[in-house]
Amino acid sequence: MNAQRAQEIYDSSDNIAVRLDDGQSVWIEKVDVENGVATVQVGQNPTDTQTVGVERLKEH
């Protein structure tokens, strides 16, 4: 995924499923378009957040 698409998903009122390249479900919490990274919540645990390159995100 590219940073612009990640931002579109973040801004969307629709529930769009996103996964990391390893298959884990994530919620996009923040997108840094300039640097091509996103902060995501992994699974259902709100304290399990990671900053990952947007290229690791896949629309499901």
The total domain count for the chain is: 1
Domain residues for the domain of 13 are 3-59
Q: What is the mean pLDDT of the chain?
A: 96
Tell me the C-alpha to C-alpha distance, in Å, between residue 53 and each of 13, 15, 27, 45.
23, 21, 14, 20
pLDDT tens for 4-23 read 999 999 999 999 999 999 99
Report residue 16 as tokens: 């769009």
Q: Is the pLDDT of residue 59 over 90?
A: yes
